[in-house]
Structure 1
Amino acid sequence: MKELERDLGLPSVFAISIGAMIGSGIFILPALALEVAGPAVIVAYALAGLLVVPAALSKSEMATAMPKAGGTYIYIERGMGPLLGTVAGVGTWFSLSFKGALALVGGVPYLLLLFDLPLQPVALGLAAVLILVNVVGAKQTGRLQVAIVVVMLAALGWFAAGSAPSVQQANYAGFFDAGLGGLLAATGLVFVSYAGVTKVASIAEEVENPGRNIPLGILGSLAFTTVLYVAIVAVLVGVTDPGSVAGSLTPMAVAAEATLGQAGVVVVILAAILALVSTANAGVLSSSRYPFAMSRDKLAPPSFSAVSDRFGTPVASITLTGAVLLVLIAFVPILDIAKLASAFQILVFGLINVAVVAFREGNAEYDPEFTSPLYPWVQVFGVVTAALLLTQMGSTALLGAVVITLGSVVWYVLYARSRVRREGVVTDAVRRQVGQSALTRTESAMNETPREVLVALTKDLDDGRERSLVAVAADLVRPDDGRVVVVRFEEVPDQVPLTEDAAAQSPADRSYEARIEALAAELGVDIEADEIVSHDTKHAVVNFARGRGVDAVVAEHEPLRLRSRLFGDPIDWVVRHAPCDVLLVDNLGYDSPERVVLSGDGGPYPPRAVSVAAAVAAASGGDVVLRQPANPKMTEQYERTVGEYQAELSQLLSVSVRSEPLRADGGRPQEPDVVVRRGPDRGLRNVRFADRPTAPSPRCTTITVYPHGSRRPGFAQRLLERLTF
């Protein structure tokens, strides 16, 4: 894999960062912001600069830890996983392309003050030149950027110094008439003026001494540009009559004409054209690196990561970005789209702050040369204020951000998902928290040994299957010398009255009671036998369990018959309405099991299933075998975290515990004696997760555990468990 040449020094970094900011923010947006906030637009620019600081600090830190081409995409992808990395990469790529096109279209009206030229052809011509310059190489791009920024700053400085003496205090009257709402709305609008401050991080792979030059370039340019913005906007408001600039396409030219005459207009026009061309140039440079970085991570086609032997630049990536830029200029109302893209940029800045927390709290290798001060409060401030600013962008902007996000998700699912085997550090951090929460619940479940268990015999069974059900219940209550209540439920048709004759004991009933009495002596557990006749077995089971206050119901799993399919599964009804846990047994015999498999379904082992497996194994001196579906995309970190979780789980149990992952090729492991598993979650049955080989059908008794509703985790928690495990 070819690497990009590190040939951008601090002057180029500083110039690229400033050039990426000073454009539409000073030559276009003040007129729009004045309509929203009036003279308080000055404070809006200062406040917006302050709100960018958390993202600037976070991005500086991550850029020194990962000086790779791609910037925002790299940090979010590594921190939060390839899905959100794709969202950030595609969204930021579009956002920067939109802003570049806006800068060119916004700069042409200044040029039209001097020459009678068609807007779109001129903008397209400028775009083509910038694309060609970026194809030639980053060194030439950096040198051009330095020259542009020097000339532009000189012109803006002359405007500010020459116009300051003409400031009229009366123009600041009614400073806060628009109120807090107007101020925040203007802040959200001009926030995009600073969005380019972190663009340099996207070309970090080409920066000399990134540990020093990237933080200095980002933070220094932000401070400088904030002061410059506030000073120039203050002068602009002070030298123009209230309302004369609001809504103008060339607000800086209007202000220069009022104080410096025609010479001032010419200078401002020169500065505007240079500034907006500079913004577009930086946009092409940085946005083209997003497809490049995504391609190297297999989230985009491989052609975008090819570096030209002749120019040393990613020509395909630059060409694609340039094509998008040209299409936007030619066919799209760019100002509206730029506002939509800006809303997404604010969202990405919020994600950047979250990514820093993920790296710091996760277990990934992360060693930045520069660290953000006041962690994590700066990052929390950044996330909260980003959410606040998004509320000020309007419904159209938010809808646009949603569309970009959904499009990125579709691209990831259709193209990238099958090609990557990575996850973000935040996923592992959440997985660890999910595992710890499950362990806490498991420890609590281990201390809640059932005192009384109901064995519900709902159909005629042979002696062996009857004994198996009773033996399961006996093993559950044995640790606390509990009791097993074995009840044979008989259902009679509704037209048959429940009289004393129906309840009279038969020889079969007396034989049943004798068998249960013999089992009590054999198993060494207090066992009580009973018989109930009813018109509805499922209601009778639930009513008996509720009346006796039993801790669990053990019953044989019945296959669905035609009546069950038409009118509902009675066992499913019992599971949903029982006042306690329900254990359904696929009964193939149960006799001192020595190999008890605790079967996972891709999440942490359910606490009640763990306690059942431990009780069954302890009763016969057997082992508990931890089994999980094989995941062909399991990363080393994933495997390590799951191993640590299983080790901690083993320490909670008083029996021997071994781990046995299912083979990815579907091979059959050693046969167990008993399998204990969690019952399927009704809300998650149709949710499809990563493709994994399913467990082979066991050739032994299977105990399916359905915890009572009060013990079941909520849908959101179960979904989180499935996604992280």
Structure 2
Amino acid sequence: MTKELERDLGLYAVLAISIGAMVGSGIFILPALAVDIAGPAVILAYLLAGAIVLPAAVSKSEMATAMPEAGGTYLFIERGMGPLLGTVAGIGTWFALSFKGALALVGGVPYLLLLFDVPPSVTTPVALALAVLLVLVNLLGAKQTGRLQVGIVIVMLAALVWFVIGGVPSVRGSNYAPFFTGGAGGLLEATGLVFVSYAGVTKVASVAEEVSNPDRNIPIGILGSLVFTTILYALIVTVMIGVTDPVTIADSDTPMALAADATLGTAGVIAVVLAAILALVSTANAGILSSSRYPFAMARDDLVPDAMATISDRFGTPSNSITLTGVVLLLLIAFVPLLEIAKLASAFQILVFVLINLAVVAFREGSAEYEPSYTAPLYPWMQVAGAVGGLVLLTQMGTVPLVGAVVLTAAGVGWFAVYGRNRVDREGAAVDAVRRQVGRNAVDRTRETIDVVERDHRVLVALDHELSKEEERWFVRIAAAVARANDGEVVVARFEQVPDQVSLTYASETESPADVRFEAQTSELDAEFDVPVSSGTIVCHDVRHAIVNYADHEEADLLLMEEAASPAGLRGLLFGSDVEWVLRHAPCDVSLLNPGANGLGECDVVGVLSDEGPYDPAKIAVADAIAVAAGGSIRLAYAGRGDASDIEGKTLRDYHAAVAALCSVPVESCVPFGDSLRNGASDDLSDADLLVVSAAERTNDAIAAYLTGTDSPVLVVHQQESELRGRLARALERRLF
């Protein structure tokens, strides 16, 4: 039986975890660096960073109520954007939180040194000792962790509030001038730097599986802590700059203590130092608590070894995951220069927040089961603003952080390729959202193709050898159906090739028995169809050039020919068949008819066969016209499609239903979906009287194999305008659909 985590974190614990995860290095360490960049405008930098975090906060709140499970950021991105990006987000965020936790512990030691007369060499040993203690606390259970967090946050906030209230009377207005020392660029750079101060706002989502009443406590905890912390940050920085010269702040390792000394004296310094130590320990504690849940959640999704999902029988915590996180934390403290690493983690955190905003869009636009009890307001504009704002900040982080984010991303991709790809068979909601959009675009193009009736639509039937009356009837029937659907006419032309030594004038003036038979049988066929049918013989030296030139002369909208195999030998290898040449150079759409072994009979069932992509609009339009003329129906099928998930099946069913609604005849979708999906479509189209495929799909292995094994007539449709979309666009459609 699978063990589950106990839900014992209440609202106060949620608020404490979120506030404690934010109020740490963001206010005790970073202001000195930010003031050096932006001057007094750092106050706006904190407010702007909070505003940019807000979309990700409400998005994460929404997803946390829909999926209150351990894993947080990883879980939401994995479910929304797919296992690949989920792996990148999980591993990257795990490292980023570990980096930030280690930075908080090491950054807190300078404040500790203000109280004790100890050498700087004790910084690392003290940080290591604190890290070991916090790992042990987390191993004991989330309840103990939550209670510890509440106590730390209460004491810390009391000291910070005292700092603000006690410092306001000493504020000097002259310290804020000039305000925009670094200009707009400095403001944005400082905003990117302090952005990490708010990264902890959504950490509570990573322990959502342990939160009681998550539908209420998670949104209130996340949004409440963000608003409170943003205001607190702005007030603290305002007081800090107002009571101390900005240049002095920029040169200090303990800016908060420096400001407290200027307003509150020794007692204030002691209070701020204690608050700083508690805050930074709180940040590290929340980091261990939340980051350890990422390997835990990833293990349950088979993206990391199963050992990371083991829950302790004694304490009910993911002991292996916490232990691994603790080991990484200790190694970072002992061996890695953390300031630059923290900047790298900040850049990756911004990227993760961008993905969080996109994940909400993926869930809402896709067809995955998604029922949040809280929904983000102003959708999708808030998510778009958050994603764009995050990307703008990324451009202000500098080269090294961006390169670091790329390296972390590459590491996640590499791990998934080596370990996860062969263990998971899932797709994110974003894939289905894109698939649905591809389907909607294809339906729109199909609607335009079917609904636009072109008056005087001319279909040219090009015959390059003598056919019997029945054989010619097959081609005229197809041409007449398309022409009738567009209030057009049919032109049947027989192309007679003569040697180069023979004058075309002489050849055209000489009527052969074949010419007589052609004129006679075409006249008889004209009476069978309720569209105008005209005919003529074209004498030429080169059939393929003559066909293209005549189609251009007649302003043909569709050219119908007999499909022919490429010639054997070197000529076929180098030049292909005349038909292939015509496909490339024709001034209009082209259809190729292969009557099959038994010829074209009644078209009661017109089968439309496709590969993995959406159906070409021209293919649907032609099939509909033929089925209408025959009083038949259309059957949609795929060839060689692998097993589809239930989500994919629902999207494909909706797409087929939309296509069917555009047609004038009954349309049947003969592709089973979900667990019952069969490979191939041979059984489904075995009784089709005519198969319609796209020229671009003939090289598809599954379709080529199917067409080789069937005796049914095949109509190949080539839409010239589709070539403008390019092969890449069609390949992407097939891949995504």
In the superposition, the TM-score normalised over structure 2's length comes to 0.88
What is the aligned counterpart of 1:469 among 468, 475, 479? 475
What is the aligned counterpart of 1:678 among 678, 690, 694? 694
With over 3 angstroms needed to count, the CA separation of the structure-2 counterparts of 1:570 and 1:358, relative to structure 1, is same
Q: Is the 1:668–1:696 contact (alpha carbons within 8 Å) kept by the matching residues of 2?
A: no
Per-residue deviation, 1:290: 1.7
Q: What residue in structure 1 maps to residue 215 of structure 2?
A: 211
Equivalenced residue count is 719
Q: Is the 2:612–2:638 contact (alpha carbons within 8 Å) kept by the matching residues of 1?
A: yes
With over 3 angstroms needed to count, the CA separation of the structure-2 counterparts of 1:681 and 1:661, relative to structure 1, is closer
Whole-angstrom CA distance in 1 between matches of 2:720 and 2:235: 66
Q: What residue in structure 1 maps to residue 536 of structure 2?
A: 530
What is the aligned counterpart of 2:298 among 287, 294, 298? 294
Per-residue deviation, 1:417: 4.2
Q: Is the 2:566–2:576 contact (alpha carbons within 8 Å) kept by the matching residues of 1?
A: no
Per-residue deviation, 1:557: 2.5
Per-residue deviation, 1:262: 5.8
What is the aligned counterpart of 1:177 among 174, 181, 184? 181
AA partner of residue 447 (structure 1):
D
Q: What residue in structure 2 maps to residue 500 of structure 1?
A: 505
**2:593 pairs with 1:585:** yes
Q: Which is worse superposed, 433-442 or 606-615?
A: 433-442
Q: Is the 2:462–2:495 contact (alpha carbons within 8 Å) kept by the matching residues of 1?
A: yes
In the superposition, the TM-score normalised over structure 1's length comes to 0.90
Whole-angstrom CA distance in 1 between matches of 2:248 and 2:703: 66
AA partner of residue 585 (structure 2):
H
Whole-angstrom CA distance in 2 between matches of 1:281 and 1:693: 61
What is the aligned counterpart of 2:609 among 577, 595, 599? 599
Q: Aligned residues: percent identity? A: 58
Whole-angstrom CA distance in 2 between matches of 1:681 and 1:590: 22
Q: What residue in structure 2 maps to residue 197 of structure 1?
A: 201
With over 3 angstroms needed to count, the CA separation of the structure-2 counterparts of 1:93 and 1:542, relative to structure 1, is farther
Q: Secondary structure at the match of 1:175?
A: coil
**2:279 pairs with 1:279:** no
Whole-angstrom CA distance in 1 between matches of 2:327 and 2:466: 75
Q: Is the 1:490–1:537 contact (alpha carbons within 8 Å) kept by the matching residues of 2?
A: yes
AA partner of residue 278 (structure 2):
L
Q: CA deviation digits over 1:42-99, x for unaligned, max 9?
A: 2211222233222222222322232111122233333344444333333322322222
Q: Which is worse superposed, 174-183 or 381-390?
A: 381-390
Per-residue deviation, 1:555: 1.8
Q: Secondary structure at the match of 2:477?
A: helix
Whole-angstrom CA distance in 1 between matches of 2:74 and 2:13: 22
Per-residue deviation, 1:199: 0.6
Correspondence list, 1:424-443, <5 A:
424-443=428-447
Q: Secondary structure at the match of 2:87?
A: helix
Whole-angstrom CA distance in 2 between matches of 1:638 and 1:455: 40
Q: Which is worse superposed, 424-433 or 596-605?
A: 424-433
Q: Is the 1:631–1:692 contact (alpha carbons within 8 Å) kept by the matching residues of 2?
A: no
Whole-angstrom CA distance in 2 between matches of 1:92 and 1:583: 54
What is the aligned counterpart of 1:636 among 646, 650, 662? 646
Which sections of structure 1, spanning at least 5 residues, go unmatched?
Answer: none
Q: Secondary structure at the match of 2:696?
A: coil
AA partner of residue 278 (structure 1):
S
With over 3 angstroms needed to count, the CA separation of the structure-2 counterparts of 1:475 and 1:361, relative to structure 1, is closer
With over 3 angstroms needed to count, the CA separation of the structure-2 counterparts of 1:51 and 1:374, relative to structure 1, is same
With over 3 angstroms needed to count, the CA separation of the structure-2 counterparts of 1:544 and 1:69, relative to structure 1, is same
Q: What residue in structure 1 maps to residue 230 of structure 2?
A: 226
With over 3 angstroms needed to count, the CA separation of the structure-2 counterparts of 1:71 and 1:482, relative to structure 1, is same
Q: Is the 1:37–1:178 contact (alpha carbons within 8 Å) kept by the matching residues of 2?
A: yes
Q: What residue in structure 1 maps to residue 103 of structure 2?
A: 102
Q: Is the 2:638–2:680 contact (alpha carbons within 8 Å) kept by the matching residues of 1?
A: no
Q: What residue in structure 2 maps to residue 664 of structure 1?
A: 678
Q: Which is worse superposed, 699-708 or 661-670?
A: 661-670
Q: Secondary structure at the match of 2:373?
A: coil
Q: Is the 1:629–1:661 contact (alpha carbons within 8 Å) kept by the matching residues of 2?
A: no
Correspondence list, 1:94-133, <5 A:
94-112=95-113, 114=116, 115-116=118-119, 117-133=121-137
Q: Which is worse superposed, 587-596 or 187-196?
A: 587-596
Q: Is the 2:671–2:681 contact (alpha carbons within 8 Å) kept by the matching residues of 1?
A: no
Per-residue deviation, 1:453: 1.3
AA partner of residue 566 (structure 1):
L
Q: What residue in structure 1 maps to residue 583 of structure 2?
A: 575
Q: Secondary structure at the match of 1:299?
A: coil
Whole-angstrom CA distance in 2 between matches of 1:93 and 1:14: 21
Q: CA deviation digits over 1:463-508, x for unaligned, max 9?
A: 7655533433233224456432233335567x64754345444444
Whole-angstrom CA distance in 1 between matches of 2:334 and 2:706: 56
Q: Is the 2:565–2:577 contact (alpha carbons within 8 Å) kept by the matching residues of 1?
A: no
AA partner of residue 641 (structure 1):
T
AA partner of residue 5 (structure 2):
L
Q: What residue in structure 2 maps to residue 35 of structure 1?
A: 36
Q: CA deviation digits over 1:188-243, x for unaligned, max 9?
A: 21111011011111101101222222222222222222222122222222233331
Q: What residue in structure 2 maps to residue 26 of structure 1?
A: 27
Whole-angstrom CA distance in 2 between matches of 1:95 and 1:63: 21
Whole-angstrom CA distance in 2 between matches of 1:601 and 1:369: 39
Q: What residue in structure 2 maps to residue 188 of structure 1?
A: 192
Per-residue deviation, 1:593: 2.9
Q: Secondary structure at the match of 1:680?
A: helix
Correspondence list, 1:414-425, <5 A:
414-425=418-429
Q: Is the 1:421–1:634 contact (alpha carbons within 8 Å) kept by the matching residues of 2?
A: no
Per-residue deviation, 1:21: 0.4
AA partner of residue 639 (structure 1):
G
Q: Is the 1:359–1:366 contact (alpha carbons within 8 Å) kept by the matching residues of 2?
A: yes
Per-residue deviation, 1:628: 2.1
Per-residue deviation, 1:549: 0.8
AA partner of residue 672 (structure 1):
A
Whole-angstrom CA distance in 1 between matches of 2:546 and 2:109: 83
Q: CA deviation digits over 1:221-275, x for unaligned, max 9?
A: 2222222212222222223333122154333344345455666555444333322
With over 3 angstroms needed to count, the CA separation of the structure-2 counterparts of 1:52 and 1:667, relative to structure 1, is closer
Q: CA deviation digits over 1:413-455, x for unaligned, max 9?
A: 5544444444444444444443333333323322346732122
What is the aligned counterpart of 1:701 among 707, 713, 716? 713
Q: Is the 2:92–2:348 contact (alpha carbons within 8 Å) kept by the matching residues of 1?
A: yes
Whole-angstrom CA distance in 1 between matches of 2:594 and 2:428: 40
Per-residue deviation, 1:38: 0.5
Per-residue deviation, 1:321: 2.6
Q: Is the 2:83–2:427 contact (alpha carbons within 8 Å) kept by the matching residues of 1?
A: yes
AA partner of residue 226 (structure 1):
T
Whole-angstrom CA distance in 2 between matches of 1:693 and 1:701: 14
**2:313 pairs with 1:303:** no
Q: What residue in structure 1 maps to residue 64 of structure 2?
A: 63
Per-residue deviation, 1:671: 4.2
AA partner of residue 643 (structure 1):
R
Q: What residue in structure 2 maps to residue 516 of structure 1?
A: 522
Whole-angstrom CA distance in 1 between matches of 2:28 and 2:337: 18
Q: Is the 1:498–1:534 contact (alpha carbons within 8 Å) kept by the matching residues of 2?
A: no
With over 3 angstroms needed to count, the CA separation of the structure-2 counterparts of 1:276 and 1:511, relative to structure 1, is same
Q: Secondary structure at the match of 1:243?
A: helix
With over 3 angstroms needed to count, the CA separation of the structure-2 counterparts of 1:156 and 1:440, relative to structure 1, is closer
**2:328 pairs with 1:312:** no
